[in-house]
Amino acid sequence: MSRLMVFQHVAAEPLGTLHERIRSRGHRVRFHNFERHPEARPQMDRYQALIVLGGPMNVDEQERYPHLRTELEAIEAALRQDKPVLGICLGAQLLAHVLGAPVMRHAQHEIGWYDLVTTEHGRQDPVLAHLGGSAPVFQWHGCTFGLPAGAVQLARTATCEQQAFRFGNLSYGFQFHMEADGRLIDRWLRLPALRKELHAAGIGRDEASIRAATAGCLERMQPLAECTFNRFLDLVGRPARRTALRSNHALEDDS
């Protein structure tokens, strides 16, 4: 049974549907909730993989959020130890930063549903190949990153060039939120700070239009997300035996 480390930044950005995928594989998980414990100093030595979730802070706010430096060090350690890393949204930006790529404000926000278009590398990638040429994904970000040197670009959208990359054979950065389900999207659309961000973005979308698109897009995205996460978790370890899956002790939490 493998042990995964998960970095969470705020309660509103959890593992989402990825949580159930991890449970079904029988992995043990150690959560580090930096909103509650910003002083935590997690070490990668006893863990087989690292997942870094999204959050409202940005890579250039390390003075305001010193735990970002801690996370960058942990990502560096995971890469040095040749362990799988998955960065989602802010997590992807942190991974790109560790790999020497610039992270900057994007020309416009992406909020809501967008068509993710895979590159030739993406259509051959062991984690994303099943997406085919395109797939709907949910977005909520105002920053973007450059492609790190030595990394392979896997996907783009019409409004943001860098959406997914792979570094080596084990590390992935996803700008989008495949872990989002209907409840999580509804939660984001109800949060005052995120509603304010959406209204200020000036992208011609509002809560009503995003909600209207969600049912149909989720129906398409969720089976693709399940396959994506299973394929990433294959890099961590093959599925556990059925007896192990019945364990009531598959998760740890320091939050």
Q: Which pLDDT score, from 0 to 100, does residue 245 have?
A: 37
pLDDT tens-place string over residues 181-190: 999 999 999 9
Q: Concatenated DSSP letters for 112-134?
A: EEEEEEE-HHHHH-TTTGGGTTE
Among residues 107, 131, 108, the alpha carbon closest in space to that of 119 is found at 131
Would you say residue 60 has pLDDT above 70? yes
Q: Which domains does the chain have, with CATH numbers?
A: 3-244 (3.40.50.880)
The CA distance from 125 to 146, in Å, is 20
CA dist 16 → 48, 69, 76, 184, 220 (Å):
21, 25, 25, 7, 17
Q: How distant is the alpha carbon of residue 151 from its chain centre?
A: 17
Q: Which pLDDT score, from 0 to 100, does residue 238 have?
A: 65
The CA distance from 91 to 95, in Å, is 6
Q: Which pLDDT score, from 0 to 100, does residue 237 have?
A: 82
Among residues 32, 103, 34, 36, the alpha carbon closest in space to that of 68 is found at 34
The CA distance from 144 to 109, in Å, is 9
Q: Which pLDDT score, from 0 to 100, does residue 243 have?
A: 34
Q: Which pLDDT score, from 0 to 100, does residue 228 have?
A: 98
Whose structure tokens read 């409004």?
A: 159
Would you say residue 117 has pLDDT above 90? yes
Would you say residue 193 has pLDDT above 50? yes
**Per-residue confidence band for 142, with pLDDT thresholds at 50, 70 and 90:** very high
Q: Which pLDDT score, from 0 to 100, does residue 2 have?
A: 85
Q: Which pLDDT score, from 0 to 100, does residue 248 have?
A: 40
Residues counted in the chain = 255
Percent pLDDT > 70 in the chain is 93
Q: Which pLDDT score, from 0 to 100, does residue 133 have?
A: 97
What is the average pLDDT across 25-31?
93
Q: Which pLDDT score, from 0 to 100, does residue 58 have?
A: 96
What is the average pLDDT across 231-247?
64
The CA distance from 14 to 179, in Å, is 9
Burial class (CB in 10 A: 0-12, 13-18, 19+), 223: exposed
Report the chain's mean pLDDT, rounded to a whole number: 93
From its phi and psi, is residue 127 left (phi > 0), alpha (psi between -120 and 50) or beta? alpha
Would you say residue 249 has pLDDT above 50? no
Asked whether 81 and 121 are in contact (CB, 8 A), the reply is: no
Strands (E), the chain: 3-8, 28-33, 49-52, 85-88, 103-118, 134-145, 151-156, 164-167, 171-174, 251-253
**Per-residue confidence band for 1, with pLDDT thresholds at 50, 70 and 90:** low
Residue 205's CB is within 10 A of a number of other CB atoms, namely 17
